[in-house]
Structure 1
Amino acid sequence: MDSSEQTRNFFLALLENSTDLLSIIDAQGNYQFVGGSVKHILGFTPDELVGKSAFDFIHPEDKENARTFLQKAASTKVLVIPIFRFTNKQGNWRWVETTLTNMVKDAAIQGYVTNTRDVTERVEEEQRKKKSQAHYESLFYNHPDAVFELDREGFMRKINKRMPSITGYTEEEILGSHFRKFVHNDYLPVAMDAFLNALGGIAQHIEIAVLKPTGELVDLNIAIVPVLLEGHIESIQCIANDITLLRKYDTFLKERSEQLNSIMERIPESFYALDTNWRFTYVNSFFTAYTKLTREELLGHSIWELFPNTLGSKFHHNCLKVIKTGLPANFDEQYSEDKDATISYHIFPTGKGVGVHFVDITEKKRELDKLEKLSLVASKTTTCVMLMNSELQIEWVNEAFEKLTQFSLEDCLHKYPWDLLTGPETQARTLTKIQKQISRGKPFRGEILNYKKSGEKVWFNLEITPVHNNLGRMVKFIAIRTDITEKKIKEAELVHVTQDLFQQNHDLQQFSYMVSHNLRAPAANVLGLTEILLVMDKHARMFDETLRKLNQSVATLDQVIRDMNHILTIRDNSYAQNRDYVNITQVCEEVLESLQEKLYYIPHTISADLDEKIEVWSNRAYMYEIFRNLLSNAIKFRKPNEVLKLEIRMKRQKNGVTILVKDNGIGMDVHAVENDIFKLYMKFHKAYEGRGIGLFLVKTYVNALGGSIKVKSEPAIGTTFKIKLKGNAK
């Protein structure tokens, strides 16, 4: 083998075993030569690439950038193309780094020499590092707690966005500052020890307080972790959790626990707690006095061992039942040693065992036995009898009370009478008087409005008598109630009738005055004109004129009489109306339809907010006349040369409906005429025709329906009528 052959083989071996891929491409990117190293780098043989375009193997997203660099290579000797993706024979994308050398003018090359290296592992490692760094930074900066990093001297190197809100300092004030600046003096030793331990590679948790610029203390739980880099402490990272509220809550719980313990010690009744092994975990002082055992003799010891006589008792069975079911138990049990003594138990689950509260009710039971005997006597009477203790809590009621008030004895026991029997209309003054008399130990006698369980009212004549023991101390109260509801109803009816008669008499006087005033003028005219006609020549020129005036006076007299008849008819029928459920919307629409002829030539707008579903228990004819008079007046008393604006609104109320009729007419001075607005034959606008009866009729209709009407008006602004109709609405 000659030397040239050896040299050729030497270079081929270099090309095949090189870690870089050497190739030659033309100006269009087609391979002219591919080195043998392509086999172990990309899996291709040189023949599989020669003659093909390099762009066919470049990732679609990287092609444009590669073409740009190939074009730049035409004017540059050496050009490094940024990393891009190149497919291998298995179809996997590999990251490659390529250097282009322009050797187009070299007669032996006539192209671009590419030196390509597979850098996939390096790129993926960098991506992993970036991802890890991104995760770390996200965790650091977006952590809900305050996160900060200290250098080896203890100065703040990095902080997250939560740090300023916890410390009260700005980011600029924190960064570069030593951590001692923020720690309260009382906690500096703890903080410094933890810092030194972290420099020694020890991670730990501490609880300290930091001082805000405002002087406010913030309690923090801080996790301190040393950061190791190549075996050395590079920095210290800390995560601080605000536990201020938690500490306050712990303090609150401790205070409440102390308060509860203080309360339990002051309760003059026995109380103790047992764990699931039936050992005493808590006893109050009253229980120790009751058992004549010390706390040391009770705590930690089994109740069944200390009190073996309770095994098999009702108390024992109920304790087991409470543990099993998790439900409380209330019961009474007699002492096994003394059949005359009775204890009332209340046993309840505590989560770690049971709590027991008991009261000796021996004396109370004896008194109840006596009461049962007394009740045999009291239960036979039709008068309501109630027995109360010295605190005015009900201990017993008779059957008559249960039947009349609908409250059973079980409903009443241990309740206060006013909690059961009083209602919205019970007079507070009466209750105050009762309590005042009783507090003085004196009896009370008077009338009171009470309520049955159903909410129905019932009037009683009430007598409360205190009962004293031999020492003169009040121990009981006996309350006797006699039903006087029917009597009170009749009294109320009498008062109502009296008020109605007074109002009707007053209205009649006003009506009589107005009618006599309006009858007198036309009647006097008739008499005067008649006398003139008797002496006047029938052929005289004034005879016909006088006769015409006589006719006019008679017509006026007739109109007044018809008005009287119409008004008296309304009043006579006010208690015997033909009522039914009336659809207010339909009535209003009918009135508006009847007024269309008047409205046709008048510029106007009508705004109606009416609920078609609402029906009111009323008189349809009266409602029609109310709307007709109010809307006719709005049309009549409109402002000239201005669009008439009518508003009609209706709203459902608790006890009926409210109707508003509003216009923008000429209005009137309400303060000047407020006492005469709804009077008969009152006219407030002399330039307009009318008899002054419309608003009087509206008021009469509304009163007949049991409603009320109010008016607001301003000159040149308009008038608003507000009608409230009581009664069922559906």
Structure 2
Amino acid sequence: MGPISDFQFLEDLMTCSPDVLCAVDLEGTLERMSTACRVALGFEPAELLGRPFAELLHPDDRAAVAAQLRQAAANEPVHFHCRCLNRAGQPVAMGWSVSRAPDSGVLLCFGKPVPGARRGRWSSAVGGRTAAYRADAPGRTESEQRFRLLFEKTLSLSAFLDMQGRTLDINAAFLGFLRQPKQRVLQRPLTDFLALEFRALFIEKFAEALSGRTVHYDAVALDAAGRKLTLRVTKTPLLVNGLLVGIHVAALDTTAFSAAQEELAHLAEQHLTILESISGAFLSFDIHCHLIYLNREAEQLFGLDRAAHVGRSAGQVFPEALTGVYRAKCEEAFATGCVTQFETYAPHLGRWLDVKLFPSPSGLLVYILDITDLIKSAKQLKLLALVAEGTDNGVVIAGADGGIEWVNASFTKHTGYTLAEMVGRKGGHVLQGPETDPAAVQLFRVGLQQTVPFSVTLLNYTKAGQKLWLTIDVTPIHNQAGELTQYIALLQNINFRKETEARQGQMTQDLYAHNRDLQQFTYMISHNLRAPLANALGLATLLTKLGKDTDSFD
């Protein structure tokens, strides 16, 4: 099984997480919702998309939650509890953590039902000045109200303190956390049993609660086994006949929840880092076709500004998407639910684009690669192939490592080797033979290393073992960054020229031999005729001195 893709990881997280994960824009509209809302609230994710987040809240909690969301929108992460309404309209107590996503401004909300809170009887704990619990309801004593607070209204650890911080009542969960018996804790300051690192913050927040407002804060402590716990502490003032008589302390163990929140935040940051680092343009649209994210590559490719365009509709950002191939492919992707890929030319950009559409119930993910250079290269290679097929010379295209990628038909005609036999191999390993000149081979290697055009003549051998003289012209190919990518070699069969040169050499040798024989013959003739000529000349001279009538002349 191959590694999971960046996009699939996000979809799996939204599908498999047991916590409710959602994205809320700055206007309070739900943009994304995980499938955990089925279990927590009974809704399908698609039913909630585009609806105000406030519609999920108990009417009494909406104002306080809105204040928390405004704080989160100001880049201050918040943690709070409130009542949400399920499909049947019943309140469900939930704890939430909300942070603002970098760049996009979307609020990332992580929620889970609060264990131990009874539906319809759980009181909201949002906001910094929520009304205090009141113990002066008709027919109820102070003791009865403490009992209700301790055992019906608390989330986990629970204790009731007087105005001096002495313990008036405490539940079993808190006693277990303190590892103390109840009788030892009662009527003594609760801080006497707290760890030093936990005590100062407890005293500070207790003083704030004495001012009459409910206080929420997170604290770190060690349990009985020495394990580090994260506690969500709430201190609630208790009023009797309008007078403040004590403070109710409730602490919920949110260790697992906090760890999950940190992990999710880490994963979200990691995911954003991945999206920002990928080479292609990445965009995300919600179910209403509003742009909710684009990475830096998308900004550069389309000339967009993230802050100015996030939240706008696809038609506003990309008017060309309303018609033509873009609209048709988007409709196809949503209709089939399958990834759709296509290539198209963008005239306004002057670029060729490879587009992949990833549909989901919550929107559309778009991944775009600029393939202009690839298209141009393909066209150039096609033209080269047409030229190469029409020439009698062999043409070889090799990679930067010298491995052959392509040969034309003329190469096969001259050497006997087919493309299938040559792909991935180096030409010299196949064609060179016993009489190949090592000096010429070394010259060829030096030319390759210098990555400049060069020419060399080599004796090679055909597949049938016949000698094949080739003049090889090599041209290196570089990309825009100046990096060597390929070699193109033009091979000219010069067997005929070599044969002609051999015949001319033989004729020269024959002429030299004939000339030498002629010179020897001339010498012999000259030597043999010299004595008779001398005699003839002497006789002629003598005759001129004798009279014709003398006996000597006769």
State the TM-score bracket (shorter-chain normalisation). 0.3 to 0.5
Q: What is the TM-score normalised by the length of structure 2?
A: 0.44
| Structure number with higher relative contact order (C-alpha < 8 Å, ≥ 6 residues apart) | 2
